[in-house]
Every structure is written in C-alpha cells, then in structure tokens.
Structure 1
Amino acid sequence: MRTTPALRTTPAALGALVTALLTAGALSLGGASPASATASPTHNHDVVWGTIVAPVDLKIRDAPSTSASIVAKLPADSQDRVECQTRGTNVWGNAYWYWLGGVQGWASAAYVDTGGQHVPSCATSDPCKEYKPCWDTCQGGYNRYH
C-alpha cells in the first residue's frame, strides 16, 4: 500500500495540535489568581432531607391527615426530600405534616427527623402544586386541586 505525504503528516499534525491545546490550557490556568483557580465547594442549603424515625413502616398519605389514603410506606431510617410543611391531623402532639418530594406524599412530622433544618411552609413555598392536592386549612379541605 502506498502512503501519501498527507497521511504521513496527519499524526504529526494532530500531535502538534494536541500539544498546543494543552499548553494553552496550562497557560490560562497559570495566569489565574489563586482564588479563581481553586473551586470552592458548593452546598445546596435549600434541600432538606428527612429521616424516617417511626418504629414501623411510615404510612405516606395523599393529604396531611391520618384518615387520608395511603400512597406509599417508608421503612425506618430511610430518607426523602422534605419539600414543605403544613398543618394537619395532630399526631403525638405534632400537627405538622411534611410533603416528601421523592415519594410524592404527606408524612407526619412526628415521624420525620430533619436534623433541625428549617422546613418552609407549603403556603409560601409550594414546589409540588402540579401533582398534589391543595391543603388549605382556611377553607377546611384538601379535595381542591390546583
């Protein structure tokens, strides 16, 4: 097989191009200030994780009420995102319920440990209004949908 000059120079040209690109990248990093060259860790403080602390599987409901339909169950020590809180049926002296974003249902705050993190109110921060019933304690119901 006959090799043309173009085929013989292609690997050399590619090698030179790669070297030039790597050198340019090193130069641009070398000229950066120390503060901008080091990436600082980022933390999403908006995400609240809750750990299930119920003695048995926790019943996740379609409304913040012990009489609402069960949509799922979560075992003890499992975790889910706590999106927001609202008031509902009182469970062991705690009237708050959390909307869990992963399982898409309500859990009594009496059985969810958030590690002391602030959970926003569903009235002011409703990240899930497209797919959950509206719970409006002022109008006394949860059967209205957005």
Structure 2
Amino acid sequence: MNKTLYLAYGSNLNLEQMVHRCPTAKPVGPALLKDYQLLFRGGHGGSVATIEPFKGKTVPCLLWEITPADEVALDRYEGFPFLYRKEMVKVKLGKKNVETMVYIMNEGRPLGAPSCYYYSVILDGYKSADFDIGILKQAVEDSKEDGNG
C-alpha cells in the first residue's frame, strides 16, 4: 500500500483528533519547517491555521505516515481543494531531508484570531509534542486583523 508522508502544523498535531480522523495514520516524529511562519486566516473568530513562506522563521510540525484512505479523510476535513491546496515541502527528519505533503490555505482569506476551542486543540498538540508554545502565541498575535483585531 502506498504511504504518504504528511506534515501537520495545526489541529492535526493533536494526537487524539488524528486517531479519530485517520485511524491508520502513524506519527513519524517532529520536524521543523524552515523559512515559513504559522498564521491564522479566515476572519471573524473562525480563523484556522495555515503556513506562509517567511525567511528566518520556523514552524514546528509533526510528520505522519498516512494511507490513501487517511488522505481522503484529511482532504474532506481540510476543505481540499477549495480552502486548502496540497504542496510538497522538504523537512529534516533526523539527519536526512524528506519530501512531505502539506496543506496550505489558498490565497485571499483575511487574517484573524482562531476560536478558543480551535486554539486549545492546537495547544494540546504543541504540549504533547513538547513544541515551543511561544511560536503558537506569536502566530495569534501576527494574525490579529491588521493590528486592530
């Protein structure tokens, strides 16, 4: 069976949620995506996580090995291809670079803060992976609508 490496940086860092959504997915390990930043887009308190190129920043991620059935479930959850598109990015896994699939939000959605619930789901993922929570808090600050939100 074909397995795909999938890079999670938002709510799919949450192990419980992924087990429920993609029962055959296996966590591979943490990875850092270099020269990207985490942001929230969608506006009106319903903003969700995305990543955008940004020199010098990093996004902590969790690599998953997923089956085609898992990918179908993720496509549905991520609103592919309307809300998110799929791209291939390289990350370091141990000592080697691996190519992995990631969902990135399509252009045109405004910055905005996530709901408390959505934030807490990602926060749980950050805590269980021992990621720097400061990066998540900074993403919320950076996503406040034009600095007025």
Same fold (TM over 0.5): no
Where relative contact order (Cα < 8 A, 6+ residues apart) is larger, the structure is 2
Higher helix fraction: Structure 1 or Structure 2?
Answer: 2
Higher strand fraction: Structure 1 or Structure 2?
Answer: 2
- The alignment's TM-score, normalised by the length of structure 1, stands at 0.23
Q: Which is higher, the Rg of structure 1 or of structure 2? A: 1
